[in-house]
Amino acid sequence: MTGYDVVVVGGAGVDVTVLVEEPPAAGRAVQARAGWTGPGGKGVVAAVCAARQGGRVALVGRVGADAAGDQVLDRLTDEGVDTRYMTRDDGVRTEQVVMIVQPDGESRDVVLRGANAALRPEHVLAAGAALTSAGVVAAQLEVPQPAVQAAFDRAESAGVPRLLDPAPAQPVAPELLAMATAVRANAAEARHLTGAEVRDWDGARHAAALARHRGPSLVVFQAGSQGDLAAWDGGEARLPRRAVPVTDPSGAGDAFTGTLALGIARRDPAGRAVRRAAAAAALVTTAPGALPPLPTAPEIDDLLASGT
């Protein structure tokens, strides 16, 4: 199958999440309030999020030839995400992440690197026509930047929009940012992209202007604790934090990316696309785990209609 709405190039793995009152000090143990284990990774969450909203989605990534890799691929299939472009590595384990989440939503992550780091350009380019016929190619940086650049280069050659989510925060090659038609980032990632500190609406607006000057026409940057600011040709939107009870924020950014990708693929107006993405990000924080609370399109509609 080709002609996907969304092709995601990104990380896949297994997440171990624990909720604690406070992180352990050196040499001490703390009792977790709750915990769970399941498939995760930024690419997996974004892809499943778009699929739950009715998108035709494929994921391009890499897992190990192990039980964890089986678990990831089985869950993707169950969620309706095409896994034919997922490759397996006999010599490297599937990546694992331990996330320690505090009541205020702050988290500390410990990453056991694995097959994500082994995704190479030739693996991505094997997706071929999927990259050149998609509604959008979205990518995150849990996989090496050369692999993302290869995907964007192929998509750009066919005029396919490219959405960059530069997470986790790291220096980004200028040529990769220049290839993106859209970018969404938190404050730390925005600093890597632009060199600007972002703490509020004005800082986000300034950083977004810098980023748009370097390539993307649509930019969404976190405005500190106030929310997100979106800027595009001829428009801007403030996306304040929604008043929802936060249980686990670990998948919020990836849900934003998956929903925004689907909006771009469907050629939604920028204002509608970013508002739906912000609503999806809010909903995913209200229940534990990254995949279980990912919303459907009607659930996003209901939150937007509620005015919460």
Known binding residues: 13-15, 142, 186, 222-227, 248, 250, 253-254, 284, 287, 289
Cα–Cα dist 103/149, whole Å: 37
Ramachandran angles phi, psi of 138, nearest 5°? -110, 145
The three-class DSSP label of residue 11 is: coil
Cα–Cα dist 17/10, whole Å: 20
CB count within 10 Å of CB 202 equals: 11
The 3-class SS string of 112-164 reads: ECCHHHHCCHHHHHCCCHHHHHCCEEEEECCCCHHHHHHHHHHHHHCCCCEEE
Cα–Cα dist 139/152, whole Å: 9
Q: Distance of CA 117 to CAs 84, 113, 187, 266, Å?
A: 19, 7, 24, 31
Residue 212: name the closest of 239, 244, 236, 241 by CA.
236
Cα–Cα dist 281/277, whole Å: 6
Burial zone of 157 (CB within 10 Å; 0-12 exposed, 13-18 middle, 19+ buried): exposed
C-alpha 12: how far from chain center: 11
Catalytic residues: 254
- Annotated binding-site positions for ATP: 186, 222-227, 253-254
